[in-house]
Structure 1
């Protein structure tokens, strides 16, 4: 009897979207060809720091500050929070040269030593502040902490680290300072998409903090296979106050399992979890029961190769129509083809994809079949 994935794993869907494509090609071959015809020489202009300062551009620089890796802007309080290597700054958003507060947060000498003993480079064995979120009167900061991630609360008023607030950051912040990840704070709960181990081989989408039990994806390549997370956004499904459901969308690329003939083929995805999800029974205890994912299709025509690497995503809500559009930035995964593109997807199309039809796979020949409804 032929087995299939739909019988023993949480459903995965693939989506051939009908999205409007907005092409912003960075590879300017056609433009260069026209320039050659007209014998036009490109003009190269280099702006120095002095040029930018003369134009009124403000700079925040510190001799002891390196590896700035996270920013959080609070427009209502005119604050800009900056996470760097072993330090968190509070700046005046209207004048970033004005420092309003600073918290030093370093790895201990022992933590750095253990990190290096585990064959990590010395430059990576520091506390890189990768995540910043405001939670009420506190600023949640998470850092890699020499491949032993930690999270802590910073009092916004005094801008000091709250004693006793430091906790383990595994599943919330990556171990590796160069690893991509995504996170978002929703109703006092942290949603994070990262890896939970030293070597970065155990990816997960995780919900923590708050009053409810933690919940995550299963450790299964059918759910997540070598993903590279880029963005999480919150959206509401439904309209006019009828059956509204808050969801978190996760944008990422991963190694495809449905194309057995092509090794390490990267495909862009969007996944969804519902904020009201409390997990399931038996094997789904403390696991998402609303998790589904879809392939994001982005190509220049039906016969063209698709863009496989998702680099970033953003959500835009129209004030007049309340329609939501998602924009995604793509690159090709082949070095010989240096193209980029931006594709746009409507909320309606994404919701239709998550509603089905669903794909079923055979573990022997990987043949795809469409199922009209979501598998149990």
Structure 2
């Protein structure tokens, strides 16, 4: 494929990529260095800065500043990076950053920078025994060091959703955290892992007497992704991507999941709506600890009285009408309740109550999603999935069936895809392994040499142009492909007809046959 590679001496332990379309730069964080690459051609290095760190975080503040964090030989440190044209330099305001950045690069972490506030999820000590979700810089607040809050978590992702925008209830923005932890609600012969989604309110200031400088809005729930009829239960979340829409209510979280036991070569992708997530946290029941000895169930649904205002809720119009303007105004009984009942009883179930994609023989590591309008004016969520052996899968749902449109090898040697970033503006993907970074377009329509190949691929980025006698990218056309006929048959209908022809034995000669149908039945039948 049309893949551009950046592989230089000194590039090692690549851990983070940051796409900055304002400066037309791809920033790459690795061991002892940050690289600035041309976003249009990453083989061209524009700047480099040396650091005595494993660089783990790169966050954009504005066009001139980045926030950079690294391990600094087991002394986590963060600093500001200044961008002057093609030059980059550290500001020299390095500060001790325990709780913001891991002590060493194998510890799992997540973070987000929002308007001068830094939210992080990592370990607060060298041993990794004090997991913490922290807001620093302004109004510092953190989680309690209690196993009921966080129990040996492996953090994956952190995202902000601006739920205060055009909100009739006057609700607050939320920070969502995704992780896998040892379940507290069950006692098992072995540690039972469970995927979680947690959230806190951006306006949370902590309590006045109870939960001082602690989150008063920390709640978590199980993130469900399973196929019960096939006995597939995916309890380890590997990666999360937030597909943001103009209305935050329409945004969707996509997640990659794997199994703790059973077949370890099966990956699943589940999608979650904001409506479902909101209902679990705003209307769901709480769990409480069970005092019965020798019970395998340690937490059950709480049946007692729930104090008012609702524990763990953000300050909204309802709370303000009762005289609670900030979290420091909340009654002690509300704060005591949420301190002892951080776990919700209801799980967050995926859209359709099942995975949107199941894949045998591939272990997915990273996901990004692009929403595309095809020639038939239908919208498609195209998933780009990196694997642990260095491949990229491109998948989408067409007529209720999931298809893998392309499977591309990104690296010469089989290395896990550890970073994956999308620039919809450029129409480019950027992927990173431990030792290299690659760039490739979201579509390569020219690879389909024949009309039948172009149609059967079901790639919404592409369409067959009769006048050009080729498969072309819709994004590169100033107008839809021109035909002498006033109307065109929608590609989905063409694909259905073409598939019917093939089933009747008419073969297509030549071309690139990369499309594969993926369904539950394929996991039980022949290999994909």
Range into which the TM-score falls when normalised by the shorter chain: 0.7 to 0.9
Q: Deviations over 1:32-61 (max 9, x none)?
A: xxxxxxxxxxxxxxxxxxxxxxx5422212
1:240 to partner: Cα distance: 3.3
Residue pair 1:236, 1:244 contacting (<8 A) in 2 also: no
1:103 to partner: Cα distance: 1.0
Deviates more, 1:365-374 or 1:245-254: 365-374
Q: Which residue of the partner structure matches residue 290 of structure 1? A: 217
Residue pair 2:163, 2:248 contacting (<8 A) in 1 also: no
Residue pair 1:318, 1:324 contacting (<8 A) in 2 also: yes
The separation in 2 between residues aligned to 1:97 and 1:338, in whole angstroms, is 34
1:245 to 141, 151, 172: 172
Say if 2:85 is the partner of 1:160: no
Residue pair 1:176, 1:200 contacting (<8 A) in 2 also: no
Say if 2:163 is the partner of 1:234: no
1:72 to partner: Cα distance: 0.6
Q: How does 1:69-218 map to 2 (within 5 A)?
A: 69-106=15-52, 127-136=53-62, 137-157=64-84, 158-163=87-92, 165-209=93-137, 212-218=138-144
Residue pair 1:268, 1:309 contacting (<8 A) in 2 also: yes
The separation in 2 between residues aligned to 1:370 and 1:304, in whole angstroms, is 29
Q: Deviations over 1:305-363 (max 9, x none)?
A: 52111101111234589512111110001264432111111111111111221111224
Deviates more, 1:297-306 or 1:229-238: 297-306
Residue pair 1:234, 1:247 contacting (<8 A) in 2 also: yes
Cα 1:148–1:367 change in 2 (3 A) is closer
Cα 1:238–1:97 change in 2 (3 A) is same
Cα 1:363–1:100 change in 2 (3 A) is farther
1:256 to 172, 176, 183: 183
Q: Which residue of the partner structure matches residue 345 of structure 1? A: 272
SS of residue matched to 2:241: strand
1:88 to partner: Cα distance: 0.7
Residue pair 2:99, 2:120 contacting (<8 A) in 1 also: yes
SS of residue matched to 1:277: coil
CA RMSD of aligned residues (A): 2.0
The separation in 1 between residues aligned to 2:28 and 2:88, in whole angstroms, is 13
The separation in 2 between residues aligned to 1:341 and 1:236, in whole angstroms, is 28
Number of aligned residue pairs:
299
Residue pair 2:162, 2:248 contacting (<8 A) in 1 also: no
1:218 to partner: Cα distance: 0.7
1:140 to partner: Cα distance: 1.1
Cα 1:214–1:319 change in 2 (3 A) is closer
SS of residue matched to 1:333: coil
Residue pair 1:251, 1:270 contacting (<8 A) in 2 also: yes
The separation in 2 between residues aligned to 1:149 and 1:86, in whole angstroms, is 13
Q: Which residue of the partner structure matches residue 310 of structure 1? A: 237
The separation in 1 between residues aligned to 2:236 and 2:253, in whole angstroms, is 16
Say if 2:297 is the partner of 1:368: no
1:66 to 2, 9, 12: 12
1:150 to partner: Cα distance: 0.8
Residue pair 2:56, 2:70 contacting (<8 A) in 1 also: yes
The separation in 2 between residues aligned to 1:324 and 1:66, in whole angstroms, is 35
Q: Which residue of the partner structure matches residue 324 of structure 1? A: 251
Q: Which residue of the partner structure matches residue 334 of structure 1? A: 261
The separation in 1 between residues aligned to 2:20 and 2:12, in whole angstroms, is 23
Q: Which residue of the partner structure matches residue 200 of structure 2? A: 273
SS of residue matched to 2:5: coil
The separation in 2 between residues aligned to 1:320 and 1:62, in whole angstroms, is 42
SS of residue matched to 2:22: helix
Q: How does 1:28-67 map to 2 (within 5 A)?
A: 55-67=1-13
1:138 to partner: Cα distance: 1.7
Residue pair 2:249, 2:274 contacting (<8 A) in 1 also: no
Q: Which residue of the partner structure matches residue 221 of structure 1? A: 147
1:66 to partner: Cα distance: 1.2
* TM-score, length of structure 1 as denominator length: 0.75
Cα 1:147–1:327 change in 2 (3 A) is same
Structure 2: 5+ residue stretches without partners:
312-336, 339-528
